[in-house]
Structure 1
Amino acid sequence: MSANILPNFTIPKKQTVALVEKSGGTVVIKEDWPVVQQNELKPGECLVQMQATGCCHTDLHAALGDWPLKAKSPLIGGHEGVGIIVAIGSNTVTDRKVGDRVGIKWLADSCLNCEQCRSGREQNCPNAKLSGFNVDGTFSEYCVSFCNHVSPIPEGLDSQEAASILCAGVTVYRAIKYSQTQHGDWIVLPGAGGGLGHLAVQYAKARGLRVVAIDTGAEKKKLCLALGADAWVDFRETKDIVAAVREATGGEGAHSAVVTTAHPSGYTQAVDYLRGGGTLMAVGLPGDAKLEASIFFTVFKSISILGSYVGNRQDAYEALEIATQGKVKVHYVSKHLKELKATYEGLKEGTVAGRVVFDLTKQ
Structure 2
Amino acid sequence: MTETGFELKAQDGKARTGLLRTPRGDIRTPAFMPVGTAATVKGMLPESVRETGADILLGNTYHLMLRPGAERIARLGGLHQFMNWQRPILTDSGGFQVMSLADLRKLTEEGVTFRSHVDGSKHHLTPEHSMEIQRLLGSDIVMAFDECPALPADRARIEESMRLSMRWALRSREAFGDRPGHMLFGIQQGGLERDLREESARALRDIGFEGYAVGGLAVGEGQEAMFSCLDYAPDMLPEDKPRYLMGVGKPDDIVGAVKRGIDLMDCVLPSRSGRTGQAWTRRGQVNIKNARHADDPRPLDEDCGCPACRSYSRAYLHHVFRSGEMISGMLLTWHNLHYYQELMAGLRTAIFEGTFESFEAAFHEARAERDIPRL
Which TM class, normalised by the smaller chain length? under 0.3
TM superposition score normalised by structure 1: 0.27
TM superposition score normalised by structure 2: 0.26
Higher strand share: 1
